[in-house]
Amino acid sequence: MSKKELNARLFELLNSGGKLSSKSAEFTLMCEISAKTRKLCAKMNKKWRSEEKIREFFAKITKEPKNESLRVFLPFYSDFGRNIHLGKNVFINGACHFQDQGGIYIGDNTLIGHACVLATLNHDLLPEHRGDLHMEAIKIGANVWIGSNATILGGVSIGDGAVVAAGAVVSKDVPPMSIVAGVPAKLIKTIKEQK
């Protein structure tokens, strides 16, 4: 299998919500990409950077066109980078960790607070396969606000206009225009538009 075919197969597996064997060639390639991304993050985080320079680094990390409306406060950490997909006017506060192998999709005008973790991977429960990975995407709608130190787990969708309270651990879908809080996060309020 050529490197190009292997790369296509890796992304097919990552985006399928399936399982990736730790003994596979795709897993080895994923680790190679991860090493390059972590190196880019380390370089980006090493010193103060202008917003323009951070956007340039993000384009290298994600392999997507430079997003001129993106705002990020450093440090920022990703252990893959190539499966982060950002809308317009996204703000990511400092010390966030994106484990994006399964795909992280963030809608327009979304705010992500300090030290949030977005984790799309789980390890296999069987000890003999514990190194194998299960991937599930995280989908965050438009105009969402995620409070500091929140954790969003793989397979979760957060609806447009929702708020995730600081410190929440979100393991289930969040309806649009709602507020969730706690561990595990539960619905505490519905947001009503003011006229």
What lies within 8 Å, CB to CB, of 33 at 6+ separation is 80, 81, 82
Q: Is the dihedral of CA 8, 23, 18, 110 positive or negative?
A: negative
Task: Work out the burial of residue 19: count CB atoms within 10 Å of its CB; fewer than 13 is exposed, 13-18 middle, 19 or more buried.
Answer: middle
Q: Which residues belong to the active site?
A: 123
Question: Could you say which DSSP state residue 174 is in?
Answer: B
Q: Which residues does 32 contact at the CB level (< 8 Å), separation at least 6? A: none
In sequence order, the 6+-apart residues with CB closer than 8 A to the CB of 128 are none
